[in-house]
Structure formats: C-alpha cells, structure tokens
A and B are shown apart, each in its own frame.
Chain A
Amino acid sequence: MVGYSLLLIVILSLVAYYVGRSSAKRFAGGAGSEKIHSLPGYHGAFIAVWVGIPAFVLVLLWASFQGATLDNLVLASLPSGFTEGKSPAELNLALSEIRNLASGRTFGTPAPEIQLAAERLVSWQNIASWAMLVVAATLMILVLVFARTRIAPRFRARNSVEHVLSGLMIFCSVVAILTTVGIIVSLLYESIAFFRLVPITEFLFGLKWEPQIALRPDQIAGAGAFGAVPVFAGTLLISAIALIVAIPIGLFTAIYLVEYADDRVRNVVKPIMEILAGIPTVVFGFFAVLTVAPAIREAGGLLGVVTSPNSALAAGFVMGIMIIPFISSLSDDALRAVPRSMRDGSLAMGATASETMTRVLLPAALPGIMGGILLAASRAIGETMIVVMAAGLIATLTINPMDSVTTVTVQIVSMLIGDTSFDSPKTLAAFALGLVLFIVTLGLNVLALQIVKKYREQYE
C-alpha cells in the first residue's frame, strides 16, 4: 500500500505541476496583463513540491509508526485472562506469533486467542493502509487547491522553488552526517557494553588475543583473552610492509610521469594506474593467496627461511600494490601543483632535471605527498578483503614478515561470522576493535587533510 501511495504522490505532483503551469500561462498570455514574475514552469514546480513533499513525509511517518501502533493495539485487545501473569518476553513471543499468523505463516496450531488477534490485526492493517492512502490523497488535494489560489502574476514562484531546493540539499547532506553519527553511536554503544565485560586497560594493553570463548556451556573452547596489542601489531606490520612497497614505487611513478615521461607514455601509464585502482580488492586477495604467497614460500624455502603459508609479507606486498595508485596519483597532483615557474627558475640556474626534482619540486610538494601517503596508510589499515584471504587468523606478536599475523579487520570478520550471540564478549570485542580502528583511521585522515590544506595555502 505504501507503494501505491508513492505512485499516487508522483501522479498528483505531476498533475499539480501541469495545473500550476497552465494557470500561470493564462496570466502570461493575456494582452496588456501585468508582467509575470516567474516563468510558468516555476509556478508548476512550486505547486508540485508543496503537493508532493508533505504527502511523502506523511506516508513515510505513517509507514514507520503503523507497525508499532498496531502492535500495541493488538496487545491491548488480548483478553486479560490470556495476558495475565505473562512476562514481557512471553508477550513479545505471542506478538510475533500473531504477526506471523497475520502474514500467513502458520507453525503448529495456534491458540484461539492468538487466532482471533491475528484476524483483528489483518483487518486493522487493511484499514490503516487504506486510511493512509486516503489521508495522503486528501492532504495533496487540499494543498493543491490552496497553492493554486496563491498563484498570481507577481507571485515569486521562482524564489520559493529556490528555497525548497536549498532545503532539499541541506536535508541530503544532513542524511550523510546523521548516518555517520549513527554509525559512531552504535559502535560506541556496543564497545561500552564490551568494556563492561572486559576492562578497557586489558583490551588496550593486553598482549594475548584469544577470543574463541565458549558461547554455550557444552562447547569446548579457550578461556578467552582480549588483549588487542598483537592484533594491532599485526595490522601495523602488514600496513608497514604495504607502505614500504608502495611509497617508493608510487612516488617514483609520479616523478617519472611529471618530469620525464612524454605525453605518449603518460597517456598509456595513467589509465593503467587507474585500472589498478579500480580492481576489486577481492581480486587482489586471489592474487595474494594463489600467486604471491606460494612464491614467497618457495623463495623462503630456497633461502632456508622458515616461511608461514600465509605470511605477513604476501598480504602486505599485495596491499602495497593496491595502494600504489593512491600514492602515485596524489603525489602526481602535488608535484603538478608546484608552479611551473619554480621548475623554470631551477632549470635556468643550470640545475639538471633530477636536481630540480630533489631540491625544488619534491620539497615544495612534500606536504601534499605526505598527505597522500597518510591517506594511503589509513586505507591500508582499514583494508579487509586482502588480509581476510591472505593473512592468518592467529594473533602472534611478531615483527617477522615471514610469520603469519592477523589484523584488526580479519578479527572483526572472523568474530562476526558463524556461531554468534550479541551479548558475548567475543562478538562485542569486534565493535571495540572497530571503534579503535575507526579512531586510528579518522586521526590519520584528519592529519592528512590538515597537511594537504596547509600546503594548498602556500601557493594561492
């Protein structure tokens, strides 16, 4: 029924648009008439938005509150003999049984009270939906008639539409902000629940990570330890390897493209770098597991180094490949933003291209390049798919790149799949990890943006 209501809103808005436009056209057409302030289309749009938007909001609100209201009504209508002495949980169970029954899913034979309540619920739902449709239609027609009377030659429909549009844009940006706030709040909420079970100091400074605790009494599992240091150390190790791979390659690529490559080479290399940036990370994951990890293991075998099958080196190396385009394209921008006159000035002093690069262009572009590297680092720290496929699961505290380490994102994934319940420390730990990860990447991003901003001011 919500669908029909939305369709009705669209149709009536269109009707409103044509009504508004045609009545405005009548002013415009008359000979010797007053000069019309806005084009007829604006009058149409004015009526259309006032017909459409309030009705839309009404339907949304109605649809979101209808369920809860009907539930309460149904509960209240249950015979007192049935509800007496029942706990809220049991009432809830009864309610979902009624709802299931009302939508045609029957399990076993329901109690007669439930059966009756379900029938009532069905009929109320019907009434409510029709009422929504009727109320929305009435509202729209009333608004249409009222707004129609506002239309006059000097009516500033154009400005009104402008106001509505800017309001719409504010609303859209607020949606993004509210979503972010919502995500943070939910993270915080679950994390606080976790820190009630596990002290925050143990989480932040503990050196042992064994979250596989028993969910049911009959399970056999570890006692549980939630020290996040090894997990973060693993993340840092893999990210560091990624940056060690990506910074020189990305930076030298950018330098080559800016200073040495001619247009033909640039026109080939740049799109290829963009393709690299567009490869889904899961494909990088395949590459890490099937190609890089075996190669590293064999190479380690030849050199006589003990190499774990899912070494940090494999995951870090592939992650480094993934972030090369970030570093190269941001460094490229930063180097290009250095005014040409700097380069000319240096060359005219008799400096070679490489002297110009190392002594003038790189120092001038360094803040921008640093910003790019920090953005790439926060991307590497938050990267999930490659490490889920290529890194290990056991949290070892090591700096040996041949060893297997785990990362924050891998732990979050592994804790939230499979047999979970939302009040055990194992599941809640995922939120705490997510919160810390969020804070770290947010900090890196803020730092990077600050640096980039400061750098922009230098030449403008």
Chain B
Amino acid sequence: MAQAALAPRDAAPAVFQTVRTPDLHPRPTKVKADTVKVFYGQKQALHGVTIDIPEKAVTAFIGPSGCGKSTFLRCLNRMNDTIDGCRVEGEILLDNRDIYDPSLDVVELRARVGMVFQKPNPFPKSIFENVAYGPRIHGLARSKAELEEIVVASLQKASLFNEVKDRLHEPGTGLSGGQQQRLCIARTIAVSPDVILMDEPCSALDPIATAKVEELIDELRKNFTIVIVTHSMQQAARVSQRTAFFHLGTLVEEGPTDHVFTNPSERRTQDYITGRFG
C-alpha cells in the first residue's frame, strides 16, 4: 500500500524540503509566505509553509482532506482570526507588506483579499443588496447611481448579469446553487480586491454549474490574483497555472500545473494525483 510508505500522520518531519519548479516565464509575486505555521490549540496544523503566489494567475492548492490547504488559504485573509484558539506563526507578505503586522487593519486587508466559500452563502437579502454590501460598508460609492454601476459591473464580471437583470430585487437565496456561487463571486469582486481566495468553490455544485464557475475563474485571472483550494484534480489541471500539493500540514511540491500533473518530482505527489491515496 502506498499509504504505508508515507510518514504517519502525527510524526510529520521536523525539517522537510518543498520541491519547487519555477515557471519558464516567471510572473511577479503577489503574496509571499515564509515558514507559516498554524496551531489549533495544542495541535499543529501547518508545519512551515513557504510559497510565492504569482500575480494575475490561478494557483491551485490540492491535497487530501485535513492536509492544511484550507487552513493556509484562510491565513491569507486572516479568517483564522475568527477561530478561537488558532495561532499563526511565520510571515505572510502581500505586496511586500506583512499582513500579520499589528498596525495593519484586518478589515482593510479583507477588502483587498476577498474570499469565496465552499457552500454558496448569499446573505438573505436581494441580489442587488448582496452585491452592494461590500461597496456600502467600505463607502466605495458616492451616489446611488455609482453604486448601481458597481453592482451591474460586478454582476457582469461574474457573468451573472444576464440571468438576473430582471430580478435584481428578489432574494439572492432564491437563485440556483451555481448562480448563488457566482453571486458570491460578484459580491467579492464588487470591492475590487487584489486577491480572491476560493475554498472549494465548486464542491457543492453540479457539473454544468461547475463548468460555468471554472470559465469565470479563467476570465477573472486577467484582473485578479486567484488562489483556489480544490479536491478535484481535473479542476486544478483545468483552471490553474501553478499547483501546490499539500500533505499532512506540509507543502510537498509546487510548480507549473502541467509540470506537477505530468511529471511530478515527488513520489507522494505522483501517488496522490494518480489516485493511489487520498
């Protein structure tokens, strides 16, 4: 069994090496993480993750459940702060600025680093109000017309506008699952973030809705830096430019997506993507 060849869960190596393969034409780095460790109470969930996330590209995090990929994602907009007993060590730089610096305003950070969740979570408000939520709380629109402009533009960017333009004032919870997820993406891009984090955005959707969201992600990468956590290897292969493979709280391998999928340098990566474990 391939599983037996791997280190037991509790005995993650104290020192390990991430196998890195650079891009042929390297992009500028947007987010730079250095030896990030996360603890839930006494339990260590991440054992020092170092990764550079390139600008205006899709980076996919793959790995078996409980490997720490979602935990790492939630470090990037400090959503881990909302969990009791969670502690983050190491350094994460967004545009060379430490996001865990005490003088940094977490509210501003989250406006710059948006997040789309696993289950579509539109607020129980109208479609319009869902998208207008961010611009309203951050005071991005000076007038009602400007607000409407932002909402329409965001819905268009999320390729949802044509489907909902006649019912902008109906509840967002009345949409189908895929539409709800695109609404959440529209809500996120309404505040024009730099980075969009997506935590398994398609795991609650059917294949057709998934295809639409993937298409959208490909479109969005022109303007946004996207980090996506996914359980679907095919999805990672389809939408991402770079892929990072996590296992047992460590980053095993990261590199250009086609390299990781066709010619992985690490044995564990190969075992995982060929479905031998995980």
Contacts and interface: CB of A to CB of B under 8 A. Distances in A.
Q: Do the two shown chains form a genuine complex with each other? A: yes
Contact of A345 (B77, B111, B123, B191): B123
Contacts of A263: 84
A348 B123 contact: no
Contact of B123 (A262, A346, A347): A346
B121 A341 contact: yes
A351 B137 contact: yes
A11 to B, nearest CB: 59
Nearest to A458: B124
A350 B107 contact: yes
A342 interface: yes
A339 interface: yes
B133 interface: yes
B114 interface: yes
A352 interface: yes
B121 A350 contact: no
Interface residues of A, number: 21
Interface residues of B, number: 27
A249 B113 CA distance: 37
A350 B108 CA distance: 6
A222 to B, nearest CB: 57
Contacts of B117: 341, 344-345, 348
Contacts of A344: 79, 82, 115, 117, 121
Contacts of A342: 121, 123-124
Contacts of B84: 262-263
A355 B77 contact: no
Contacts of B138: 350
Contact of A349 (B119, B173, B191): B191
Interface in B208-262: none
A364 interface: yes
A341 B82 CA distance: 12
Determine chain B's interface SS by DSSP, over half rule. Answer: helix
Contact of B110 (A343, A349, A364): A349
Interface in B103-127: 107-111, 114-115, 117, 119, 121-125
Interface in B27-62: none
Interface string B183-220: 01001100100000000000000000000000000000
Contacts of A364: 123-124
A350 B107 CA distance: 4
A104 B188 CA distance: 89
A360 interface: yes
A364 B191 CA distance: 23
Contacts of B184: 345
A363 B125 contact: yes
Interface in A258-282: 262-263
Contacts of A454: none
A349 B134 contact: yes
A154 interface: no
Contact of A350 (B110, B123, B173): B110
Interface string B122-143: 1111000000011001100000
A360 B121 CA distance: 12
A26 interface: no
A453 interface: no
Interface in A317-368: 339, 341-352, 355, 359-360, 363-364
Determine chain A's interface SS by DSSP, over half rule. Answer: helix
B111 A349 contact: yes
Contacts of B111: 349-350
B107 A352 contact: yes
Nearest to B116: A348
Interface string B1-31: 0000000000000000000000000000000
Interface in A159-181: none
A345 B107 CA distance: 13
Contact of B115 (A262, A348, A363, A458): A348
Nearest to B184: A345
A346 B188 CA distance: 10
A348 B114 contact: yes
Interface in B80-117: 82, 84, 107-111, 114-115, 117
A349 B79 CA distance: 10
Given A341-B121, A344-B121, A359 B114 contact: no
Nearest to A353: B82
A349 B82 contact: no
A346 B137 CA distance: 10
A329 to B, nearest CB: 22
Contacts of B110: 347-350
Contacts of B133: 346, 349, 351, 359
Contacts of B82: 343-344, 347
Nearest to B123: A360
A364 B172 CA distance: 13
Nearest to B120: A341
Given A344-B79, A355-B137, A349 B121 contact: no
Contacts of B114: 348-349
Nearest to A347: B82
B107 to A, nearest CB: 5
B184 to A, nearest CB: 7
Nearest to A364: B124
28 contacts: A262-B84, A339-B121, A341-B117, A341-B121, A342-B121, A342-B124, A344-B82, A344-B117, A344-B121, A345-B121, A345-B123, A345-B184, A346-B133, A347-B82, A348-B117, A348-B188, A349-B110, A349-B114, A349-B134, A349-B188, A350-B107, A350-B138, A351-B133, A351-B137, A355-B137, A359-B133, A360-B123, A364-B123
Interface of A: 262-263, 339, 341-352, 355, 359-360, 363-364, 458
The 10 closest A-B CB pairs, nearest first, are A350-B111, A341-B121, A350-B110, A348-B115, A345-B121, A349-B134, A350-B107, A364-B124, A351-B137, A355-B137
Interface of B: 77, 79, 82, 84, 107-111, 114-115, 117, 119, 121-125, 133-134, 137-138, 173, 184, 187-188, 191
